[in-house]
Amino acid sequence: MILIESLGPARESVVKLFEELYDPALLIDPEKGVFVGANSAACEFLGYSPEELAALSPTEIHPHEIPRLDAFLFAVREQGRWKADDLSCRTKLGHLVPAQVRATLVHISDREYVLSVVHDRREAELAELGRSIRKLTHDLRNTMVSSRLMSDRLRRHEDPLVRQSADLIARSVDRAVRMCQQTLEVGSAREGSPRRERFMLSDLMAELNAAIGPREVARAEMESPNAEEIELDADFDQVFRILTNLIRNAIAAGSRHIRVIGSREGNRTVIDCEDDGPGLPDSLQGCLFAEKGTGRGTGGAGLGLAIAWELARNHGGDLIMRETGPTGTVFRLLLPDRPGVPEVPGDAVL
């Protein structure tokens, strides 16, 4: 698809050549520094219509690499070809896409043009990232296995508090090893199906208190007034991770009092995590559970809430922000029982 008619009688043959190219291809007039041609793949890759591309120059597609573009055009005219593996192309939506660019000097109707073929490198970069994660996960798993052996030795200590701490360390390491193993087996960090079991909220809160240590870390109080009355049908480790992220975020935001309140609503458990922090700014409330959102703590990446939300959805449930303001924030975790579990009568939960 040619953008302008300046190519004269050679236009039809150039159109055919362009449309037969699988990768995005652009034709540049090096004298004027503008696009004069593009195939359908290029328009789709960049998100522009042919008319919109006709009004652009290469400097607008590579806005942060203008010095390299000047050198690129010079090099192609001097040497006849050019290649770069680390350029970024800006799409119409403003996304920067990593690309490999190959350019060749071509003559059409006695004029010189630069034919630039672009290869999208996103898949290659994701594959490389996946390989790096697998290597890192493998090494982390080995390190954690060593920690597991040391915790086993501590279990034989005479002091009962040391033995209790060793049990907590062992369970934490086991959780981490399982997550590493799942990542290695599936090649991704996607969460596995819940391994459901029956357990009391009080047991979970005891482990959360020991693992997070709110008093030691931030002089914060954490309570769960009815934990001994609430039985869950869920994956203990995954619910532990959900509440760990919520509680640590609350502490990082400056909360000094955290309440975890459980209740029953039909065939599901409802857990409210309440804090007395400063609340969430309006700018963050629309992207709380997005992985690239901003977290509550300074410098946070928002990953903890994204993980917690994914684990809740993994159970067929949900994680929502019920309310937030200057007096605190309430997150609500909804955990349905597995199918076939008899309904437990209880008060309705708003």
Strands (DSSP E) contained in the chain are 25-29, 34-38, 81-90, 96-108, 111-120, 197-200, 221-223, 231-234, 257-265, 268-275, 318-325, 328-336
Q: What is the pLDDT of residue 313?
A: 93
Mean pLDDT of 119-146: 70
pLDDT at residue 158 tops 50: yes
The CA–CA distances, whole Å, from 135 to 132, 142, 176, 304 equal 5, 11, 16, 23
Alpha carbon dihedral 99, 306, 340, 266, in 10-degree steps, equals -140
266: left (phi over 0), alpha (psi -120 to 50) or beta: left
pLDDT at residue 160 tops 90: no
Pairing of strands 257-265, 268-275: antiparallel
Residue 116 — pLDDT band, cuts 50, 70, 90? confident
Weakest-pLDDT range from 28-37, 159-168, 289-298: 289-298
pLDDT at residue 140 tops 50: yes
Sign of the CA dihedral running 43, 48, 49, 52: negative
Give yes or no for a contact between 102 and 83, defined as CB atoms under 8 angstroms apart: yes
- Per-residue model confidence as pLDDT tens digits over 51-105: 888 888 887 887 665 566 666 667 777 777 777 777 788 888 888 888 888 888 8
- Per-residue model confidence as pLDDT tens digits over 218-260: 789 999 999 999 999 999 989 999 999 999 999 989 999 999 9
Q: What is the pLDDT of residue 328?
A: 94
Report how far residue 228's alpha carbon sits from residue 213's, in angstroms, rounded to the nearest whole number: 20
Residue 315 — pLDDT band, cuts 50, 70, 90? very high
Residue 198 vs residue 4, higher pLDDT: 198
What would the two tokens of residue 247 be?
């509680």
Q: Whole-model pTM?
A: 0.53
Q: Which residue matches tokens 């033995």?
A: 163
107-121, 126-140, 284-298, 303-317: range with highest mean pLDDT: 303-317
Mean pLDDT of 104-116: 82
> Mean pLDDT across the chain, nearest whole number?
79
pLDDT at residue 294 tops 60: no
Residue 349 — pLDDT band, cuts 50, 70, 90? very low
Q: What percent of the chain has pLDDT over 70?
A: 73
Residue 293 — pLDDT band, cuts 50, 70, 90? very low
Neighbour count for residue 159 (Cβ, 10 Å) = 10
Q: What is the pLDDT of residue 139?
A: 62
Report how far residue 157's alpha carbon sits from residue 150's, in angstroms, rounded to the nearest whole number: 11
